[in-house]
């Protein structure tokens, strides 16, 4: 049962525990507050008392679970959960939009961000396209339960797909799921698994990655995160930077779309270099994604 809930809510075991605790504490608080409030109405007849109590707890329950969810760090989950209930009660299906909005979205590019880390780039990309008429960040794909990027997705109300190795490499690379979600374009932002041929074939020239160095140098298998910055500082390089490139079946190999550089000073460490590179990533990645997608859209 717990596994089913984990899959349904796309959370890891620890998060599921916190959610269940929030339900339990929120429910108890709601019952307690309901009884207290009922005391203010001096109603004797059970015929009135019971419906009144039911009405009070119905109103109090969302308030109580939201209140409890804040200290337990589950606000994003419960906000979305209550929104879903609200939609169901008002008779709208999840994801249903007004006809005008549907038309506006018809020509939009749906983008999936693949990330498995903190997700600072994912957040910048989401912010950049928040009001875009061209790009919709429609899905966050992640291979690490508990990754920071999943909290961002919950907060931003973006659907997530938690993937696992076997299906990714031996199955069809989740192409069916991406197609079912109408994904047009894939952005890798801190995703460490090599993208399988099934996926690069299905999204030829529609998958981009950002690498925290100036390719073709300091790329390839094992060259990620701090490994890159440590190697660059150890080699005494005077410059580093970022590379945004298309993704093919070889690590960090696809055609380069954009590069930006930063200087390395004598007092730089791998950590300070990582900070400089992150700034470059945040400044350029969303804009470059926008330009690439615009080109594709013009070809449609
Ligand atoms: C970035 O440095 C990016 O270059 C690399 O993975 C890192 C992701 O960082 N591909 P964040 O999770 O977006 O903060």
Atom number of ligand 1 nearest to Cα 188: 10
Please choose from 113, 115, 116, 117 the residue to mutate so as to test ligand 1's pocket, defined by most ligand atoms within 8 A of CB. Answer: 117
Atom number of ligand 1 nearest to Cα 149: 12
DSSP of 11-27, one letter per residue? --HHHHHHHHHHHHHHH
Q: Quick check: helix, strand or coil at residue 159? A: coil
Specify the pLDDT at position 99: 40
d(CA 276, CA 228): 13
d(CA 88, CA 123): 29
Evaluate: CB of 148 within 6 angstroms of ligand 1: no
Which letter, b or e, does each residue of 217-242 get, where b requires 16 or more Cβ atoms within 10 Å of its Cβ?
Answer: bbbeeebbeeebbebbbeeebeebbb
- Report strand pairing: 160-162 vs 185-188: unpaired
| Greatest Cα pair distance in the chain | 84
Nearest CA to ligand 1 atom 9: 190
Atom number of ligand 1 nearest to Cα 121: 13
Ligand 1 centroid from CA 157, angstroms: 21
The residues spanned by each domain of the chain are 2-90, 99-298
- Residues 220 and 194: beta-carbon distance below 8 Å: no
Evaluate: CB of 120 within 6 angstroms of ligand 1: yes
Evaluate: CB of 119 within 6 angstroms of ligand 1: yes
Ligand 1 centroid from CA 5, angstroms: 30
Atom number of ligand 1 nearest to Cα 118: 12
Nearest CA to ligand 1 atom 12: 119
Active site residue 282: no
CATH superfamily of 99-298: Formyl transferase, N-terminal domain (3.40.50.170)
Evaluate: CB of 208 within 6 angstroms of ligand 1: no
Evaluate: CB of 252 within 6 angstroms of ligand 1: no
Evaluate: CB of 80 within 6 angstroms of ligand 1: no
Question: Which of the residues 211, 229, 245, 284 is marked catalytic?
Answer: 211
**Each residue's pLDDT expressed in tens, for the chain with a length of 300 residues:** 777 777 667 677 788 889 999 999 999 999 999 988 888 887 788 888 888 899 999 999 999 999 999 998 888 888 888 888 887 787 765 444 444 344 345 578 999 999 999 999 999 999 999 999 999 999 999 999 999 999 999 999 999 999 999 999 998 899 999 999 999 999 999 999 999 999 999 999 999 999 999 999 999 989 999 999 999 999 999 999 999 999 998 889 999 999 999 999 999 999 999 999 999 999 999 999 999 999 998 877
Nearest CA to ligand 1 atom 6: 190
Neighbours of 293 (CB within 10 A): 22
- Report strand pairing: 135-142 vs 109-114: parallel
| 6 token code pair | 């984990």
Specify the pLDDT at position 97: 44
Whole-prediction pTM value?
Answer: 0.69
> What's CA 207's distance to the chain center, in Å?
17
Q: Quick check: helix, strand or coil at residue 263? A: strand
Evaluate: CB of 281 within 6 angstroms of ligand 1: yes
Nearest CA to ligand 1 atom 7: 190
Ligand 1 centroid from CA 267, angstroms: 23
94 closest CA partner among 83, 105, 102 = 83
Nearest CA to ligand 1 atom 2: 212
């Amino acid at each position: 049962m717990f596994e089913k809930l984990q899959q349904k809510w796309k959370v890891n075991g620890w998060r599921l525990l916190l959610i269940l605790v929030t339900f339990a504490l929120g429910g108890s608080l709601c019952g307690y507050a309901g009884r207290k409030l009922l005391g203010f109405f001096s109603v004797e007849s059970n015929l009135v008392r019971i419906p009144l109590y039911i009405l009070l707890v119905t109103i109090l329950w969302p308030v109580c679970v939201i209140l409890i969810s804040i200290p337990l760090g589950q606000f994003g989950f419960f906000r979305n959960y209550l929104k879903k209930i609200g939609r169901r009660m008002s008779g709208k299906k999840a994801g249903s939009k007004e006809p005008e909005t549907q038309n506006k979205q018809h020509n939009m590019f749906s983008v999936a961000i693949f990330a498995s880390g903190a997700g600072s780039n994912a957040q910048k990309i989401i912010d950049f396209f928040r009001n875009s008429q061209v790009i919709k960040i429609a899905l966050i794909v992640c291979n690490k339960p508990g990754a920071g990027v999943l909290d961002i997705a919950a907060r931003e109300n973006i659907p997530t797909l938690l993937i696992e190795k076997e299906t990714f490499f031996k199955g069809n690379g989740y192409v069916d799921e991406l197609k079912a979600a109408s994904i047009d374009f894939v952005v890798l932002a801190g995703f460490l698994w090599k993208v399988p041929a099934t996926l690069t074939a299905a999204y030829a020239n529609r998958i981009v990655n950002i690498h925290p160095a100036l390719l073709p140098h300091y790329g390839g298998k094992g060259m990620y995160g701090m490994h890159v910055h440590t190697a660059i500082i150890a080699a005494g390089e005077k410059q580093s930077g970022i590379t945004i490139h298309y993704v093919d079946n070889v690590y960090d190999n696809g055609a380069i779309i954009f590069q930006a550089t930063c200087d390395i000073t004598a007092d730089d460490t791998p950590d300070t270099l990582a900070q400089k590179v992150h700034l470059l990533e945040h400044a350029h990645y969303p804009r470059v994604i926008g330009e690439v997608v615009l080109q594709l859209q013009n070809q449609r």
